[in-house]
Amino acid sequence: MTHDEIEAATRLSADADTDHEDARGWYDSYGWHLTTEDAGDVMLQAVRYDWLDDEDDAVITRLRKADSDLSADEAESIVTAARSTREAAESICDLLDEAVEAYERGDLDGAKQALLSAYSQESDHGDTPATSVLAGNLLEAAEDD
């Protein structure tokens, strides 16, 4: 479902599937890499989601231990991107949770607002699969007369 389709939705779906991607899954699916001088292309997921619970220095050390070909600057760049991506994933998935909560209350406007916010944030990172799928499950457009 697109941004315009979310805005145009006129009712909530009956018995919708409210499952949606969680932040860890969103992070794990994110397509980003850094081309390094000695280590080649290093994917964002070289920094595991749960590693980001630690301070940057500890994460950089862990990453460089896992891949000794990374320079300190390269490792720092990857950690910075990973932290930013995790924050985006958590924010987007919190909004998807809000949309489900609004759906469960029967609040069309609340569901649409949460989905539109999630859509906007997710589109800042490329495409919008998590938001579009959930919106398609929760919302319906008016049938043409």
Q: What is the pLDDT of residues 89-109, one digit of tens each?
A: 999 999 999 999 999 999 999
Q: State the Cα torsion 92-97-100-101 to the nearest 10°.
A: -130
Q: Average model confidence (pLDDT) for the chain?
A: 95
Cβ pair 76, 56 in contact under 8 A: yes
Q: Side chain identity at 93, as an amino acid letter? A: C
Q: Are strands 41-43 and 11-12 parallel, antiparallel or unpaired?
A: unpaired
Q: Which residues lie across from 55 on neighbouring strands?
A: none
Domain extent listing, the chain? 3-136
**pLDDT computed for residue 62 by the predictor:** 96
At 143, the pLDDT band (50, 70, 90 cuts) reads low
Q: What is the 3-state secondary structure (H, E, C) of 86-109?
A: HHHHHHHHHHHHHHHHHHHHCCHH
pTM, to two decimals = 0.90
**pLDDT computed for residue 126 by the predictor:** 87
CA distance 29 to 49: 11
Q: What is the pLDDT of residues 106-142, one digit of tens each?
A: 999 999 999 999 999 999 998 999 999 999 999 997 6
At 145, the pLDDT band (50, 70, 90 cuts) reads very low
CA distance 86 to 80: 10
CA distance 43 to 28: 10
